[in-house]
Amino acid sequence: MKRRAFLKTAALSSAVMVELSARPATRPGQVEGPSPSKLPRWRGFNLLEKFTARREGNPPFLEKDFQMIRDWGFDFVRLPLSYQCWSKGDPAVWTKIDETQIVHIDEAIEFGHRHGIHVNLNLHRAPGYCVNPPAEPLDLFTDEKALDACVLHWAFLAKRYRNIPNTRLSFDLLNEPKDLPEESYVRVVKTLVSGIRAEDRRRLIIADGLKWGTKPVPGLANSGIAQSTRGYAPMRVSHHKASWVNGQDWPEPSWPLNPDAKDRWDKERLRRENIAPWQDLEKMGVGIHVGEWGAHNRTPHPVVLAWMKDCLDLWREAGWGWALWNLRGSFGVLDSDRADVTYEAFAGHKLDRAMLDVLRAG
C-alpha cells in the first residue's frame, strides 16, 4: 500500500486529544521556543517505564520522579518508548493503538508541565527497528510496510500533542540507529519528519546519530532538526562487565584508561573524538544534545566519578545538555546496587549522593 493511502485509511484515534496549553501564534513552519539549530542545555534523566513491553503490564510514569528531578535542579527527561506498549509487534496489526497506554504518556507530559521539566519522547523500539533483541519482524530501513507503520505511530503522537509548545515537548525519532549507509538513514528520517510535519509543522524534532548514536549525520543538516549524541566512550569504562556487550572479560578500568599505553583514553581524547566531530556538525546549524550516557554498576565508583567529571566539563564547555541512563537502576543515582558505594536513604530509595553531587555540578 502506498504511504499516502496508508495514512489516509489508517485509524489514527483522536478520542483523547491533549490540549494542555495553546501555542502562541507563529508563522507556518516556524519552531517556537527551543531551536533545532541551538538546543537549550537541558540536563536530566531517562525514565524507563515504557522502555520495553512487559508481560505483567506497563506501569505509568511517576510524578514523584519529576518532582525529585526538579528539586535537584534538573529540567529534562527523555522517555525511551517501545511501541509494543500500545500496539502489537505483529505487522498485521501495527495500525491499532491502545490509548489506555498512551494516556500514561499524556500524564508524563503533564507532570513535566507541573514541575518545569522538558519531556522528550523517543521511540526506542519502533516498528521495524530496535537496538536491543529481539529483532523486529520487518526491517525499517528496507521494508516499506515497516516504514509506513513507523510514520503512522509518529503521526499519531504528533497529532495528539500538536498544541503543546516546544518549550515542553520534543520528539527523538529512533534510538541508536545501527552502522548503516547514511543515505538509508537519511531517507527514513526525512520520511518520518514528513509524517510528523503533516500533523504538526512546528514540532521540535531530534535524530540520533548513526553508529548507535555516536556518529554525526551531515546529510540531515538542512532538515530543520537537531541531533543527539552519546556519552559512553570508552565502553571499557562505561560498560565494564556488562553482559549485553560482552564486557565480562574486560580488565578493570582506570581513568584515564591505559595511561601508559598507546591506546590511552583521557579527557583530551574525549574532546578530540567525541566533541570535535559534533562541533563541526553544530557549525552547520544543528543543535546537539547528549541523549544517553553513564556507567554500569560494575565499574569502580571512583573511576566512574572521575570519568563523569571530565565528560561533564566537556559538555558544559560545548554548551550541550545531557540525560543520564537512568534515574533508577544500574546506571543511575538511585538503587544502582553498586558494591563500593555507601548509599544514603532517600525517599524510599538508596541514593548515590556522590554521583548526584557530580551531576549537579555539571
Q: Phi-psi bin for 224: left (phi > 0), alpha (psi -120 to 50), beta?
A: left
- For the chain, residues with pLDDT lower than 50 are 1, 5-31
pLDDT value of residue 327: 98
Contacts 24+ apart (CB under 8 A), 339-346: 339/297, 340/300, 340/301, 341/301
**Model confidence pLDDT, tens digit, residues 78-90:** 999 999 999 999 9
pLDDT value of residue 54: 81
Q: Give the closest residue to 173 by CA, choosing from 80, 275, 45.
A: 80
* Domains of the chain: residue spans and CATH: 36-235+272-361 (3.20.20.80)
**Model confidence pLDDT, tens digit, residues 41-88:** 999 999 999 999 887 778 999 999 999 999 999 999 999 999 999 999
Are the C-beta atoms of residues 21 and 164 closer than 8 Å to each other?
yes
Q: Tell me the pTM.
A: 0.92
